[in-house]
Amino acid sequence: MILPIYLYGQPVLRKVAEEVAPDYPDFKKLVADMYETMYDSDGVGLAAPQVGLSIRLIVIDADPLKGTFPELAGVKMTLVNPELDILEGKSVTRDEGCLSLPGLQEPVPRVEKVRLNWLDEDFVEHEQEFEGFLARIIQHEFDHLEGKVYIDRISPIRKQLIRGKLKNIVEGRVQCDYKVKQQKPHKK
């Protein structure tokens, strides 16, 4: 089932998400719905707050980016209750977009290397280090669990420049080719 994606301005995107309990009702179905929703909207990552659920769950399928980043071929991960450690290293700035902020792309600084502890959808524990663009995707999605979005990390000048576009998203004046939930209905 394709779920509506909550757009910037929805309060759930600003909440710190709760841990997922192993007895969460219909958890496998929710994970499947999140993948379906992500594929339908051509995303490579989706966090549960983006479908209105304030829980610590992320799905990632980075395979569509393998043309630019060959190391992402076949990379598919379900992250439950992830814990992120930022590792030493330089910060790199690259453009990011977000399904909750349609029509926008902004340069965001992120560190190159992270260590992640997480549970998969069967609640089996994993630990691994990631670098490069996958580390960026993980940091972007992890931010959603902390009530942050990537534009919180851009320069004040850039933020000022996109102020009008942000207002349009908040007020529902935005076109999307995927199902969304907006703060206010579009007024003509």
Q: How many angstroms separate the CA atoms of 46 and 35, rounded?
A: 8
Scan for tokens 């979005």, then name that residue: 149
Q: How many angstroms separate the CA atoms of 16 and 56, rounded?
A: 9
Cβ nearer to Zn ion, comparing 109 with 123: 109
Contact between 8 and 148 (Cβ < 8 Å)? no
State the minimum distance, in angstroms, from the CB of residue 96 to Zn ion: 8
Mind telling me the catalytic residues?
141
Name the β-bridge partners of 107.
95
In the bound state, the residue with its beta carbon closest to Zn ion is 98
Three-state SS at 52: coil
Contact between 13 and 25 (Cβ < 8 Å)? no
Number of residues in contact with Zn ion under rule CB under 5 A: 1
Q: Which stretch binds Zn ion (CB under 5 A): 1-9, 18-26, 32-40, 90-98?
A: 90-98
Write out the two tokens for 93: 């700035």
Contact between 80 and 49 (Cβ < 8 Å)? no
Residue type, 26: D
Q: Which stretch binds Zn ion (CB under 5 A): 16-24, 92-100, 154-162, 168-176?
A: 92-100
Residue from 5, 44, 84, 98 in contact with Zn ion (CB under 5 A): 98
State the minimum distance, in angstroms, from the CB of residue 81 to Zn ion: 19
State the minimum distance, in angstroms, from the CB of residue 45 to Zn ion: 7
Q: Which stretch binds Zn ion (CB under 5 A): 74-82, 95-103, 110-118, 163-171?
A: 95-103
Q: How many angstroms separate the CA atoms of 175 and 178, rounded?
A: 9
State the minimum distance, in angstroms, from the CB of residue 101 to Zn ion: 7
Cβ nearer to Zn ion, comparing 97 with 172: 97
Q: Should residue 58 be labelled a site residue for Zn ion when binding is judged by CB under 5 A?
A: no
Tell me which residues touch Zn ion (CB under 5 A): 98
